[in-house]
Amino acid sequence: MNFLSNKLIAAIIPASVFSCSVLHAQVKNDYPIQPVVFTQVHVTDQFWAPKINVNADVTIPYTLEQCKRTGRIDNFLRAAGVIPVDTLTAFTFDDTDLYKVIEGASYSLQTKKNASLEKYLDTLINVIAAAQEPDGYLYTFRTMKPAKPHEWVGGKRWEKEEDLSHELYNSGHLYEAAVAHYLATGKRSLLNIAIKNADLLVNTFGWGKEEKFPGHQVVEMGLARLYRVTGKKAYLDLAKFFLDLRGKKGHLNHEYSQAHVPVVDQHTAVGHAVRATYMYTGMADVAALTGDQQYLSAIDDIWRDVISKKIYITGGIGATGNGEAFGAAFDLPNMSAYAETCASIANVYWNSRMFLLHGDAKYIDVLERVMYNGLLSGVSLNGKRFFYPNPLASLGQHQRSEWFSCACCISNMTRFLPSMPGYIYAQNKNDLYVNLFVGSSASIKLPAAKVELTQNTNYPWSGKNEISINPDKKTSFSVYVRIPGWAINEPVPGDLYTNSKKNVKPVTILLNGKAVKYEMKKGYAVITRVWSKNDKLQLELPMDIQKVIANDAVAANKNRFALQMGPIVYCLESPDNNDSAVMNIVVDQNTVVNTTYQPNLLNGVMTLQMKGFATKRQEQSNQLLKTEQEVTAIPYYAWANRGPSEMEVWIPYNESAARPKPASTIASKSKISASVKNKMMYRSLNDQYDPVDSKDPGASYLHWWPKKNTTEWVQYDFDAAYTVSSSKIYWFDDGPWGGCRIPAAWKIYYLDNGQWIPVKNTSAYEIQKDKFCTVNFEPVKTTALKIEVQLPAEYATGIHEWIVQ
């Protein structure tokens, strides 16, 4: 793991690296419920344990290597004056990728010792220390003093902080990494760097001093975490200051960054979804540590808004790529769903805090849904491919990438997975919570006794779970076992999603093989008794296949259902179905669904099989051709691991919602080429799907973004010579926020003896939004047509559909 040369290492200013006993400061207030930290939990199951191991063995080393290869480590070396300032990476927050991977690596070290990794982290921390300015300022994009500064930086410190500089965002991730590294190794090297930076912030910001809030939230969480370790209340006060300043007059009052009104007056989720959920998490931290009830009231309202109107069935949040933001209530498009991986991780953080505040299982229901679906889909099974957005439908245009220039989701995943065991259990005095059903062993110290707890389960493929409870002495305490909402016909709290058929199978709980009395409290089966060694709870959750229906207000899911088994949401993917297609499939709502565990598919998954039929259009007829077929579904998290494919979560049960295969026409039989080289986009031109409007989020399209003011082309090569005299184009235009507009001009050419000849149009070339634009021309017999498109001066252009007649 030695990605740095010895010469560079020698040139770095040494950081003070020493071991010490790890201290936890006593804080006055805190969450009433405390998580059982992941270092006390050993995951042994066949679902999460392999994924945590892949993260440790593959993803963390891979991401560290990418941080070096892409110049992220070099940014620190440039700031330290070790190498020339010859170039910059793309984003002012690139420093945080290194911080987040150090955080993830530190978590990993707590559960899996790795001497070479620990040594390499020491080297990286020396690099970071060398880049820090004497007063504690740490922001490589300014400190390196490039000849041409990044446009987001500004002329002086903090000048553009409320907008794009990300100076405080970088600090927040530094603090999270520093605490993780300190708790993992006992070394104060990175913690000292963080404290020095935090002290600078305390001296700089505050009422009557520098009054600016972070444009991108996360420093609030980091400061709260530093406060827990150091006990320095100034850090907590500063976190509250940053929150309380938002929405004040004289500042950037943007919904995008949740600064439109004071945080205590916010009651709905708006703006950038990651910024928002980091802020709500920070508000929960500050509320718990200060007792601020106004913060609690605000985030309670916001949570209800998200869960009742703005969350995908996969747990994803952030419906639109325009600002990576929450959409309007019930606006949950599938193919254009953004549902950023970072937002899913932040949603877990937020819901975990909400549980620790309120002790209600509904927050763990949401957390579990996110973890098993919208979060886990963000990384491939081999640990080296990633999703930034996580759509719920695809024609093959969505594929995992090796890396992103904006790599926040990748580094975020590396830090989340090793900490996953910390969400399984919690405690409140002598109340012991079993929140997640994961094969594991844990050592939990209650006031009444030390308890060794073991879960033996094949969850999520089976609902059976044996929970062994072994106190070190015979004593009384309460065990809270979560009864998941999905097991009692409530996929998510509220009525955004409902199970189309009510379960008839009950949840069963036995103690040492016999029925046991329990009472239900906030979604938990609570068993209070005198526990003895080798007591065993047997829990069985009904794992019937559920057909989930969305609220009628969600237009994208009308006449569709989603399949779920336990916590797992399923999808149809083309490799498992006839003709490598799924968009044309219709499945009756009452069809019987069978399960088959396939150990050699996608690292071992439970698949679903059912009868359905494929649809196809016919020329000059509204009647669809229907062909019966066997339909297979796989877990959503595992899709896109086998190359480009169609995928769909919400399955049509009415043919009106399906996207039939195209009828046999000149266009559908043509070979497509274009000046943009993306074959997956080509399919949209002749799929015979009529868009709702020019920016229809359910439609696919070909586009030339980010080009502008250029001449581009797209071409049909026919399967034979045809006489043609008309063409229709439906332009893609995602204004006012997107980068595409209708073209400045367009023109059609036909192929004649190897030469492209312009057609003689008999009508004008229409250029309008939200309709098919037609041009008629004198008949020509040809084997190919080409459209030449002049892009607007400041925008790109795209095409939804091209019809030839």
Q: Determine the pLDDT at residue 8.
A: 52
Tokens of 25: 């400061």
Q: How confident is the model at residue 14 (pLDDT cuts 50, 70, 90)?
A: very low
Over the stretch 471-495, which tens digit does the pLDDT of each residue have? Answer: 999 999 999 999 999 999 899 999 9
Closest CA to 334 of 394, 379, 378, 388: 394
Q: Determine the pLDDT at residue 505.
A: 85
Question: Do 149 and 140 touch, CB atoms closer than 8 A?
Answer: no
Cα 516 from chain centroid (whole Å): 40
Q: Determine the pLDDT at residue 20.
A: 38
Q: How confident is the model at residue 162 (pLDDT cuts 50, 70, 90)?
A: very high
Tokens of 439: 């094969």
SS3 label, residue 131: helix
More confident residue, 630 or 690: 630
State the burial class of residue 113 (Cβ atoms within 10 Å of its Cβ: 0-12, 13-18, 19+): exposed
The answer to whether residue 39 scores a pLDDT higher than 50 is yes
Q: Determine the pLDDT at residue 502.
A: 76
SS3 label, residue 260: coil
Question: Do 136 and 19 touch, CB atoms closer than 8 A?
Answer: no
39 vs 26, 112, 444, 793, CA distance in Å?
20, 10, 11, 57
Q: How confident is the model at residue 21 (pLDDT cuts 50, 70, 90)?
A: very low
Q: Determine the pLDDT at residue 680.
A: 80
Report how far residue 285's alpha carbon sits from residue 282's, in angstroms, rounded to the nearest whole number: 5
State the distance between the two ends of the chain, measured CA to CA, in whole angstroms.
61
Cα 652 from chain centroid (whole Å): 25
User: What fold does the segment set 426-482+506-540 form as a domain?
Assistant: Maltose phosphorylase, domain 3 (2.60.420)
The answer to whether residue 622 scores a pLDDT higher than 90 is no
Closest CA to 750 of 776, 783, 720: 783
SS3 label, residue 542: coil
Q: Determine the pLDDT at residue 723.
A: 97
The answer to whether residue 10 scores a pLDDT higher than 80 is no
Q: Is 671-804 a domain of CATH 2.60.120.260? A: yes
Mean pLDDT confidence for 554-573: 97
Degrees to nearest 5, angle at CA 416 with 481 and 245? 100
Report how far residue 273's alpha carbon sits from residue 324's, in angstroms, rounded to the nearest whole number: 6
Tokens of 176: 């999270």
Over the stretch 74-98, which tens digit does the pLDDT of each residue have? Answer: 999 999 999 999 999 999 999 999 9
Provide the residue count of the chain: 805
The answer to whether residue 5 scores a pLDDT higher than 70 is no
Which letter, b or e, does each residue of 126-143 get, where b requires 16 or more Cβ atoms within 10 Å of its Cβ?
A: bbbbbbbeeebbbbbbbb
Report how far residue 315's alpha carbon sits from residue 337's, in angstroms, rounded to the nearest whole number: 12
Q: What is the CA radius of gyration of the chain?
A: 28
Q: How confident is the model at residue 15 (pLDDT cuts 50, 70, 90)?
A: very low
Q: How confident is the model at residue 738 (pLDDT cuts 50, 70, 90)?
A: confident
Concatenating the DSSP letter of every residue in 623-652 gives EEEEEEEEEEEEEGGGTTSSSS--EESSEE
Q: Determine the pLDDT at residue 1.
A: 57
Mean pLDDT confidence for 588-606: 97
Concatenating the DSSP letter of every residue in 300-331 gives HHHHHHHHHHTB-TTS-B--BTTTTB--STT-
Report how far residue 199's alpha carbon sits from residue 317's, in angstroms, rounded to the nearest whole number: 35
Report how far residue 407's alpha carbon sits from residue 88's, in angstroms, rounded to the nearest whole number: 15
Dihedral sign for Cα 571, 314, 688, 646, please.
Answer: negative
Phi and psi dihedrals of 593, rounded to 5? -115, 125
Q: Determine the pLDDT at residue 698.
A: 82
Q: Determine the pLDDT at residue 12.
A: 53
The answer to whether residue 16 scores a pLDDT higher than 60 is no
The answer to whether residue 25 scores a pLDDT higher than 80 is no
Report how far residue 308's alpha carbon sits from residue 554's, in angstroms, rounded to the nearest whole number: 11
DSSP 8-state assignment for residue 661: B
Closest CA to 704 of 804, 801, 790, 802: 790
Q: How confident is the model at residue 550 (pLDDT cuts 50, 70, 90)?
A: very high
Pairing state between β 621-635 and 605-618: antiparallel
The owner of tokens 């063409």 is 727
The lowest-confidence range among 41-45, 502-506, 598-602 is 502-506
Report how far residue 478's alpha carbon sits from residue 371's, in angstroms, rounded to the nearest whole number: 27
Over the stretch 108-127, which tens digit does the pLDDT of each residue have? Answer: 998 888 999 999 999 999 99
Cα 560 from chain centroid (whole Å): 24
Percent of the chain predicted with pLDDT > 90: 90
Over the stretch 277-290, which tens digit does the pLDDT of each residue have? Answer: 999 999 999 999 99
Residue type for 644, please?
A: P
Mean pLDDT confidence for 251-274: 96
Over the stretch 216-230, which tens digit does the pLDDT of each residue have? Answer: 999 999 999 999 999
> Under 8 Å CB-to-CB from 287, ≥6 apart: which residues?
293, 295, 296, 299, 357
Q: Domain segments of the chain: what residues?
A: 1-9+43-245, 251-378, 426-482+506-540, 545-657, 671-804
State the burial class of residue 290 (Cβ atoms within 10 Å of its Cβ: 0-12, 13-18, 19+): middle
DSSP 8-state assignment for residue 14: P
Q: Determine the pLDDT at residue 621.
A: 83
Mean pLDDT confidence for 25-37: 88
